[in-house]
Structure 1
């Protein structure tokens, strides 16, 4: 995977107002935005970024592209992603929310066949603080460092990055895997990426109620991850059995094959504890657990 300042980036749906705004932010942050694609807008520019009608036309004009960031309408996202894969792009960030589930199934089958990494959908993307912004993370919350941050919730990613920054703990990378029901890349994939990343010393995994991805991650950490991991599970006070608002937090305990407790905060916390992974009770406790694990002295204020 290429998550360096040399990453050459395309934006699909760059004429969308949200994409236009964040294209400016990414460019200011230093991301190498080499082209944009919006059918019907070919020949124009957005913040000095040349716009093309097709991905193939963009590659012909600017050369190889490492990553595409997709802002298109949810019903156009599948075609946009497949167009990128056909052009040889192997890193896809889906900002778009609400992509139809069957479209995601088709996309993930193609991604698996072509070894394409898909982040999202409904994701703010990936940030390497001080170097690279692939998406819509608020960069003011991040600072360079050695803490890898993986989350299912965009806003929680920002909040915990800020907590770490205020505690003097910079981040090596931050990624939100997405909040829709069917996601591209998984916790295990990103755990492996960060475990192999020479700039990451410790990993913070932020889960939430619904599904069994945290339980799966806990098992994977115990079996395959060498670096220390700190966990936090959002939704601990949510009423049991009630569907809550966040798209990715649909409680799956109603699926009998998984058992009555799978999907609850208690199930996820238990899985982490069995894997001997420290679990924070609330976001502001995460920096303390990180410092304790890394044996960094904690400053105590004098009275």
Structure 2
């Protein structure tokens, strides 16, 4: 199994005729993702890499739906409108790719998603990849790279950094293991599916034996993962690296969501809390596969 997406996931691409939409649709289609339809208002009747384009999500749904997931590649100011349209049509998983989506818009999407029983990943996100099955978004960049760098295996990867999502997964593959699913949760302060939620999904996945997590300063996502471990909700071994050790208070580190205010969200508080509950916190990203080898053998 895998979490969030697999070879049977039926995908819609919103903003498919734009530059990013076209490029990432090519990746998804060539990797084997079941991309069923695309939407760009005013471009209905076109095709992008063999995928039919419709003017609205409803038109696409009526013609070829239902869809399990939608990858949204529209400009940041239009993300809210696109997300609400998809949720209202019945899509239950959204990937909000753009950065600089207004915080108020994200909060509106969150409330709307709760009302309709939907979930979203991002914004400011690379996506999700279940090796050998499907990719939603842009992890890997090109299909041949994604096939080379990531292989099916027992390690679930959850990360707040897009670049480190790929790097950690690559290191795990090179160490002779592989990944059940690779998830970039997004780099903003408010995201739809933060680390604790993804870690819980890995806990429930029978194919995932261990979890690799890249965290960083800012927010309390990592502390909430520690709470789940302490409560016994998550029992699978977690190997974590926390970025931002040298960052000063009030300074942003790497991402919009990586900023320390007072002691909240600091590197020290995260590392201390995770170690208290038995999470394996390593000093270097390259130590993650070494620790996984110790755990899994």
Inter-partner Cα distance in structure 2 for 1:115 and 1:206: 28
CA drift of 1:221 comes to 2.2
| Alignment partner of 1:143 out of 134, 151, 154 | 151
**Which residue matches 1:71?**
73
Inter-partner Cα distance in structure 1 for 2:109 and 2:24: 25
1:96-146 per-residue CA deviation (whole Å, 9 max, x = no partner) reads 111100001111011112221110001111100111100100114211101
**Aligned Cα root-mean-square deviation (Å):** 1.2
Give 5+ residue unaligned stretches, structure 1.
254-259, 297-303
- Give the TM-score taking structure 2 as reference length: 0.94
| Contact residue 2 and residue 66 of structure 1 kept, 8 A | no
| Contact residue 150 and residue 174 of structure 1 kept, 8 A | yes
Give 5+ residue unaligned stretches, structure 2.
141-145
**Which residue matches 2:60?**
58
**Larger C-alpha radius of gyration, 1 or 2?**
1
Alignment of 1:245-284 (within 5 A): 245-251=254-260, 253=261, 260-284=262-286
Inter-partner Cα distance in structure 1 for 2:200 and 2:265: 23
Classify the secondary structure of the residue corresponding to 1:122: coil
**Which residue matches 2:242?**
233
The question of 1:242 aligning with 2:242 is answered no
**Which residue matches 2:216?**
208
CA drift of 1:2 comes to 5.2
1:48-83 per-residue CA deviation (whole Å, 9 max, x = no partner) reads 100001000001111211000001111110010100
- Give the TM-score taking structure 1 as reference length: 0.92
Inter-partner Cα distance in structure 1 for 2:72 and 2:186: 13
1:268-292 per-residue CA deviation (whole Å, 9 max, x = no partner) reads 1001011111101111000111111
Classify the secondary structure of the residue corresponding to 1:188: helix
**Which residue matches 1:256?**
none
Inter-partner Cα distance in structure 1 for 2:255 and 2:135: 24
Inter-partner Cα distance in structure 2 for 1:33 and 1:73: 21
